[in-house]
Amino acid sequence: MQGEVHIFEQPAQLHHAAAERLLDLGREAIKQRGAFHLVLSGGSTPAGLYQLIGEQHRQDLDWSRVHIYFGDERCVPADHEMSNYRMARELMLSRLPIPSVQVHAISGDLPPALAVGEYRDLLEHQPPRDDGPLPRFDLILLGMGDDGHIASLFPGSELLYRRKVLVDEVHLDHLDARQPGSRRITLTLPVLNHARHLMLLVSGASKAAMLERITREEGEDKAPHAPLPIQMLQPLGGMEWYLDRDAAAGLNSPHERDPLSH
Ligand code: 6PG
């Protein structure tokens, strides 16, 4: 797998290591550029990380310099149980002294087209550009679906090939349009791939088959299908995987299985 692979016996160890790495990258960004532009992932995997940071790391970073964004959001109100913002707020953001104006939630309660326009406007002027039209985030946290999706970029989506779009809406066609969560707002691949650092947090046995597949297909000349979203991550900066043992069970080569076991 491209990038550095860290494998942990238990999710709790994964969360501790990911928290330490996130804080290191935050201190580095603040020291070098005066701010830390951090994109949070949704889903359940990062919950333990957010809780750990919120409970134990209030003193370990100058949170007044941190700007929070979201890789994607479900089109639901901010207090809905499916809201990625709600999870981050309850577990972490409500416990850290980050100025509220620096927490940039995606407006899940707005009509999707308006929420997209609002986030596109935001990304027009922050985070700072340093080499062209794309915003460069210091760190983007991502989870991975068992189908290889990242953020709300799903296999087969034409959004995967749109190069000039930074944010867009997604309709999960396998869900009824009236079902909460069937409509989402997501950052796109050009933005994800322009990050200084990407951290993939993947835990649980349900992800093992997909991790095995992407590892196996890396060794093959040509995959027999269009690349999956997870396989389209080619970040300019560093990419690091934080896996637990269950998710890594299918990584059969010694290099992949125990490259940096903890
Ligand atoms: C979301 C995430 C999504 C998530 C994966 C993994 O809004 O759900 O952006 O991409 O990271 O689906 O989800 P779990 O962590 O719940 O397995």
pLDDT by residue (tens digit) across 206-249? 999 999 999 999 877 776 678 999 999 989 888 999 999 999 99
* Beta carbon of 98 within 6 Å of any ligand 1 atom: no
The predicted pLDDT at position 237 comes to 84
Choose which residue among 40, 44, 85 to substitute to test ligand 1 binding: the one with the highest number of ligand atoms within 8 A of its C-beta.
44
Say yes or no to pLDDT of 74 above 50: yes
pLDDT by residue (tens digit) across 39-61? 999 999 999 999 999 999 999 99
Say yes or no to pLDDT of 255 above 60: no
The model carries a pTM of 0.95
Say yes or no to pLDDT of 194 above 50: yes
Q: Which residues pair with 74 in a beta bridge?
A: 184
* Beta carbon of 42 within 6 Å of any ligand 1 atom: yes
Say yes or no to pLDDT of 192 above 60: yes
The predicted pLDDT at position 261 comes to 59
The predicted pLDDT at position 257 comes to 46
